[in-house]
């Protein structure tokens, strides 16, 4: 378990399914998430959670919760490349009442710390919808820089969206400490 100032991350548990089902089909929460384009059944989420509880060499999923133990959502490392020492991160805060309160920023900073210190990575990157201004502001505050853009790359809610690629290098992150 790793803790930040507001949140901690822990391994996913099968008991997290009820929490996940409370937000996974909420379009206000999932509209900017890359993996959620259709409604998810409980059986589909249960199958996904079975895999998420088993860390692999290339993917590590975590439950995200407040320091008091209140479930907030999930986050993780995807496509970890141990040879070239980079990975993609993802984060989802599933409680609308907790958006815009600093939990996401703290979670991203925690993922950076774990990625650079515990996993010994050199670069961490992410992809974000261009219209997700709250997330982009958060990522910039955490040291990420836009390095590319896929134009009209994602189709959701009847519209095309650009996908922004952002990254931070370990050396850049360390100068911010």
pLDDT at 168: 98
Handedness of CA 165, 35, 129, 1 (dihedral sign): negative
The residue among 137, 127, 129 whose CA lies nearest residue 159 is 129
Q: Element (H or E) spanning 124, and its range? A: strand 123-129
Rg of the chain in Å (alpha carbons): 16
Cα–Cα distance between 64 and 141 in angstroms, integer?
Answer: 20
Cα–Cα distance between 87 and 34 in angstroms, integer?
Answer: 16
Dihedral-angle region of residue 79 (phi above 0 means left; psi in -120 to 50 means alpha; beta otherwise): left
- Here the tokens at position 60 are 């590590």
Cβ atoms within 10 Å, residue 96 = 11
Cβ atoms within 10 Å, residue 64 = 26
Q: Which residues of the chain have pLDDT under 50?
A: none
Cβ atoms within 10 Å, residue 56 = 10
pLDDT at 140: 97
Fold classification of 2-175 (topology level): Aminopeptidase (3.40.630)
Question: What confidence tens digit (pLDDT) does each residue in 129-169 have?
Answer: 998 899 999 999 999 999 999 999 988 778 898 999 999 99
Close Cβ partners of 71 (under 8 Å, ≥ 6 residues apart): 16, 19, 63, 64, 65, 94, 95
How is the chain split into domains, by residue range?
2-175
pLDDT at 171: 97
pLDDT at 153: 92
């Amino acid at each position: 378990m790793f803790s930040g100032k507001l949140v901690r991350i822990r391994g996913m548990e099968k008991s997290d399914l009820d929490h996940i089902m409370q937000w996974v089909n909420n379009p206000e929460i999932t509209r900017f998430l890359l993996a959620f384009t259709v409604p998810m059944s409980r059986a589909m989420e249960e199958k996904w959670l079975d895999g998420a509880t088993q860390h692999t060499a290339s993917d590590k999923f975590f439950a995200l919760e407040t320091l008091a133990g209140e479930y907030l959502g999930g986050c993780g490392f995807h496509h970890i490349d141990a040879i070239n020492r980079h990975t993609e991160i993802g984060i989802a805060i599933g409680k609308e009442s907790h958006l815009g309160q600093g939990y996401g920023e703290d979670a991203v900073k925690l993922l950076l710390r774990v990625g650079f210190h515990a996993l010994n990575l050199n670069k961490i990157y992410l992809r974000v919808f261009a219209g997700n201004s709250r997330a982009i502001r958060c990522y910039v505050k955490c040291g990420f820089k836009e390095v590319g853009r896929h134009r009209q790359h994602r189709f959701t809610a009847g519209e095309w969206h650009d996908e922004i690629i952002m990254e931070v290098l370990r050396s850049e992150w360390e100068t911010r400490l």
